Chain A
Amino acid sequence: DAEITQSPRHKITETGRQVTLACHQTWNHNNMFWYRQDLGHGLRLIHYSYGVHDTNKGEVSDGYSVSRSNTEDLPLTLESAASSQTSVYFCASSESRGYTDTQYFGPGTRLTVL
């Protein structure tokens, strides 16, 4: 069955280190998204991509970067991790840019920055 996976599921790192969170989907979806989830804020969009080599900034993109070299993967990189980036990160994908297309979410990565 097609799915969307994230790795690692849990990560502890130190302030200032570079961290990369992986997201892989097997639906062949064009669109991929990264969100962070914090208490009281719901899910907030970090970066998104509508296709290979396309990337766009979301609401809370500072300190994060993404690159899309193939359809299946959209890794999220924290260039220099900060304690404020301690959060649960979710990747999602959808088929097309139609506004009613369902976004399918991965299981999440819990990141702790010490």
Chain B
Amino acid sequence: GENVEQHPSTLSVQEGDSAVIKCTYSDSASNYFPWYKQELGKGPQLIIDIRSNVGEKKDQRIAVTLNKTAKHFSLHITETQPEDSAVYFCAGVQGAQKLVFGQGTRLTINP
């Protein structure tokens, strides 16, 4: 089955700097990779996703890149703001709608 590894577990950056979170997956057949943001006391919320036929996708300050050959994908947040502080999860899909999550990254934006 699918296994997703996520690094780093914690990340601290200065406000305005960029943050990068990386994930690797094991199943070469995986074709969809969502990213979720979880704020304190809330459930995860989808922020961006990428399909395997695309190498990069951007939505304002966030972008995701996918390297199918190396089986890794990354989340990039530019011009970080205090409201970006949260826990971020990457995921792969194993079968119909079965998400396999990474371990999570706690991102802290320092003013």
A34, CB-defined interface residue at 8 Å: no
| Interface mask (B24-52 → A, CB under 8 Å = 1, otherwise 0) | 00000001101010000111111001010
A84, CB-defined interface residue at 8 Å: no
Q: Is the CB of B96 within 8 A of A99?
A: yes
A41, CB-defined interface residue at 8 Å: yes
A16, CB-defined interface residue at 8 Å: no
Q: Which residues of A contact B100 (CB under 8 A)?
A: 45, 59
Identify which of A63-71, A72-80, A103-111 touches chain B: A103-111
Q: How many residues of B contact A (CB 8 A)?
A: 26
Question: Which B residue's beta carbon lies closest to that of A110?
Answer: B41
Q: Could you count the A-B residue pairs with CB atoms below 8 Å apart for me: how many are there? A: 61
Q: Which residues of B contact A103 (CB under 8 A)?
A: 46, 97, 99
Q: Is the CB of B32 within 8 A of A105?
A: no
Q: Which residues of A contact B108 (CB under 8 A)?
A: none
Which of these, B36, B98, B102, contacts A45 with CB under 8 Å? B98
- B residues contacting A by CB (< 8 A) are 4, 6, 9, 31-32, 34, 36, 41-46, 49, 51, 89, 93, 96-104
- 9 inter-chain pairs at a CB distance below 8 angstroms, sorted by A residue, are A42-B6, A43-B89, A45-B99, A50-B96, A94-B97, A99-B96, A101-B97, A102-B34, A105-B45
